[in-house]
Amino acid sequence: MKANENLRERTRQFALRIISLSGALPKTIHCRTIAGQIVRSATSVGANYAESCRPKSEADFVNKIGTAMQELEETRFWLELIPEAGLLPAKRLAPLHDELDQLMAIFATMVKKTRLRSGKKP
């Protein structure tokens, strides 16, 4: 499997795992809000990565990956909030945190390499 196909699948699986997590949250108005927010941010990661696969320019590529990274940070916020609010145990979310960290590192490396290739500071 090519690297971009593997990453496309990883971001899709990450989104699906977050969707599943959102269904495990208690059925309260507050949790519906959190579920909606985390699903939006996590699914946006994959959508922005998919768009970056056909960039108009290197700057467009860096912008799309940067947006995916911002969405990962928002997803991290919601993942941290869930156990702090007593909605689900932190242990259950640990694998999602791990995948989020790995995706963030991959995207950061992609941006750095692209900027170095174009002669810009990382």
Helix (H) or strand (E) holding 13: helix 3-24
Which residue type is seen at 49?
Y
So where are the chain's domains?
3-117
Surface-to-core class of residue 71, CB atoms within 10 Å of its CB (0-12 exposed, 13-18 middle, 19+ buried) = buried
pTM of the model: 0.91
CATH of range 3-117; options 1.10.3720.10, 3.40.640.10, 1.20.1440.60, 3.40.50.300: 1.20.1440.60
pLDDT confidence tier of residue 117, bands split at 50, 70 and 90? confident
**pLDDT (tens digit per residue) in 45-74:** 999 999 999 999 999 999 999 999 999 999
* Helix spans in 25-89 (H): 29-52, 58-84
pLDDT digits (tens, 9 = 90+) for 5-14: 899 999 999 9
In the chain, what percentage of residues exceed pLDDT 70?
A: 97
